[in-house]
Amino acid sequence: MLHSGKLTERVQILRASATVSSTGATVRQWDNVATVWANVIFQRGAAVLTAGESWLTRSIVVTMRNNAVVSELCRLVWDGKTYSIESLNRSKLDGTITIAASVIDE
Contacts of 68 (CB under 8 A, 6+ apart): none
- Share of residues in the chain with pLDDT > 70 (%): 81
At 18-65, the pLDDT tens digits run 989 889 999 999 999 999 999 999 876 555 454 555 545 588 999 999
Q: Which of 99, 104, 105, 106 is nearest to 41 (CA)?
A: 99
What's the whole-model pTM score? 0.80
